[in-house]
Structure 1
Amino acid sequence: MPLVSIREELQKAQAGSYAVPLFDVFEMQAIEGVFAAIQEKHAPAIVAIYAQFVEAPNARALAAYIRCLAEQVAAPVSLMLDHGASFEQCIRALRYGFTDVMYDGSSLPLDQNLTTTRLVVQAAHAVGVGVEAELGHVGRGDEYKEFGSQGKGFTDPDTVERFVGETEVDCLAVAIGTAHGLYDGVPRLDLERLCEIRRRVDTPLVLHGGTGLSEEQFRAAIAAGVVKINIATDLGVAASKAMIEAARATSASYLSVMGAVREAYRQRAGYYLDLFGVTGRA
């Protein structure tokens, strides 16, 4: 079916108390593996491209390939820019046919984040594209011991209503104890903070840095109001391990190694579709 915006699917997830996963991809084996899982699980999902890859010469071709595969599966799929670093980068994604963009101004002062987010929303909504923003700052896993236990950069519930009201974002990524990449330490979620944010706004909430969380933590976050969860590192780690193992086989070939990468993405994406309760909801 044709690509769809995340806006309608996240509203459904909010009503149904499940979460739609976002899978970051950057090459064809990953894309094909994720789509195989989406088709197999008959589940809505979001396929995303990192902002840095939108600058690459093949970005438009990757977007077109994702659109082509989406039309062949019987499930709603969104194509999203992940962590857009500027207004201009988000506009480029609109030109490439993305259905949704994330503008990440989380490292900026609040007023500057708010102002640029609002500009992105105005431009994107004019052409029917959804927008995600980040309030608070989700840090890096290798720095987790420095900020995780102190709540440094966590989303301030007192700023959420103003930010959502003035920007009119379609979904909001919050910082409640997760981190990007692999964790140096054990992740701890501030579920009380998450519940307070949920109490103050009804905008769909997003969790970044899903790699490394336990199944219980995922379920608790969904129960507290998260409806979109980003997964990237775990897929890449699984694919890397599969690639190394396949390359060591005596019968190894380029095709067998690439096939192992595809299969790793399919298996891990399918695992998260099941875990987040989205399987069968297409």
Structure 2
Amino acid sequence: MALVSSKEILMKAQQEGYAVGAFNAENMEMVQAIVAAAEELSSPVIIQTTPGSLQYADTDMFFGMVNAEAKKAKVPVALHLDHGNSAELCAKAILSGYTSIMIDGSKLAFSENVALTKKVVEFAHAMGVPVEGELGTVGGKEDTHEVKDSEKSYTDPEEAKEFAEQTGVDFLAVGIGNAHGFYKGVPKLRFDILEKTKSLVSIPIVLHGASGIPDEDVKKSTGLGICKVNFATELRDAFTKGVKEYIEKNPEVFDPKKYNGAGREKVKELIKHKMHVLNSVHKA
């Protein structure tokens, strides 16, 4: 199957009351793991790359890997730019073949965020590509994207409504106490903000920083209108643990296929668990 639009995947999720996992890939093995898990569980899936990952291998390289796996798959697979940090990078991802993009202007003043997001929406929509925006800053660090504690802010539901209307974004990432990276304690999500935002905004809502959020809170979020849930840190951790465990048991190994394959299997099992949490199994 050819790569599909994230909007197509998320509108179905919104209508049927489940969420789709958006999993960040760092290499070929993680791409393979994500698609293999989706195939085994008949789940739609979104594969993402961050600007930091795109400094390691560019948009053409990631498109080539994801497209190759998607062509073999029977389930819907989308390729998304996560935390696009400039209009230029968004345009580059679109030209490479990404089927959705995110422009993250959440650290800007509201009016500046609107202006930047609207600019990206205009040229992306002209190319038939949906756009994710963000309002309210999600804390923590992911690759080169970092929001300090002093910069964190909750999404204002009334502003979210205004932002969606003024920019024309297709889905919206919100700040409800979530953060990138592993949490130092148990995160306390503001479900009241999520409920209010959902009542005012009709487009699919996105939860970033889900690595480390308890499964029951992720499930509750999807029940309150979250349609896309992002996972990155946990996947990197799983892949690294798989590699380390294999090398510790086989210290003489020198074939990357052996230990990278072990990392791939760890990632696949983690993703299958997350798909059950999101209730996206058999929704392809």
Give the TM-score of the pair, scaled to structure 1. 0.94
User: 1:252: how far off?
Assistant: 3.5
State the alpha-carbon separation in 2 of the partners of residues 88 and 152 from structure 1. 25
CA contact (8 A) 2:49 2:80 kept: yes
**Runs of 5+ consecutive residues of structure 1 not aligned to the other structure:** none
CA contact (8 A) 2:121 2:167 kept: yes
State the alpha-carbon separation in 1 of the partners of residues 229 and 65 from structure 2. 23
Residue 23 of structure 1 aligns to a residue in which SS?
strand
CA contact (8 A) 1:144 1:183 kept: no
State the alpha-carbon separation in 2 of the partners of residues 269 and 137 from structure 1. 26
Residue 269 of structure 1 pairs with residue 271 of structure 2: yes
1:271–1:124 distance in 2 versus 1, CA, 3 Å: same
State the alpha-carbon separation in 2 of the partners of residues 215 and 252 from structure 1. 36
Question: What does residue range 1-282 of structure 1 map to in structure 2 within 5 Å?
Answer: 1-56=1-56, 58-140=58-140, 146=149, 152-250=152-250, 252-254=253-255, 255-282=257-284
Count residues in correspondence: 279
Pairwise CA RMSD: 1.9
Aligned residues: percent identity?
36
State the alpha-carbon separation in 2 of the partners of residues 15 and 58 from structure 1. 34
CA contact (8 A) 1:141 1:182 kept: no
CA deviations over 1:33-68 (Å, ceiling 9, x no partner): 111111111110100111233345543122112111
State the alpha-carbon separation in 2 of the partners of residues 3 and 39 from structure 1. 14
What letter matches 2:181 in structure 1?
G
State the alpha-carbon separation in 1 of the partners of residues 148 and 263 from structure 2. 32
**Runs of 5+ consecutive residues of structure 2 not aligned to the other structure:** none
State the alpha-carbon separation in 2 of the partners of residues 115 and 59 from structure 1. 25
State the alpha-carbon separation in 2 of the partners of residues 195 and 34 from structure 1. 30
CA contact (8 A) 1:105 1:133 kept: yes
Residue 228 of structure 1 aligns to a residue in which SS?
strand
State the alpha-carbon separation in 1 of the partners of residues 60 and 173 from structure 2. 26
State the alpha-carbon separation in 2 of the partners of residues 54 and 97 from structure 1. 14
Give the TM-score of the pair, scaled to structure 2. 0.94
Residue 35 of structure 1 aligns to a residue in which SS?
helix
User: 1:240: how far off?
Assistant: 1.1
Residue 72 of structure 2 aligns to a residue in which SS?
coil
User: 1:237: how far off?
Assistant: 0.8
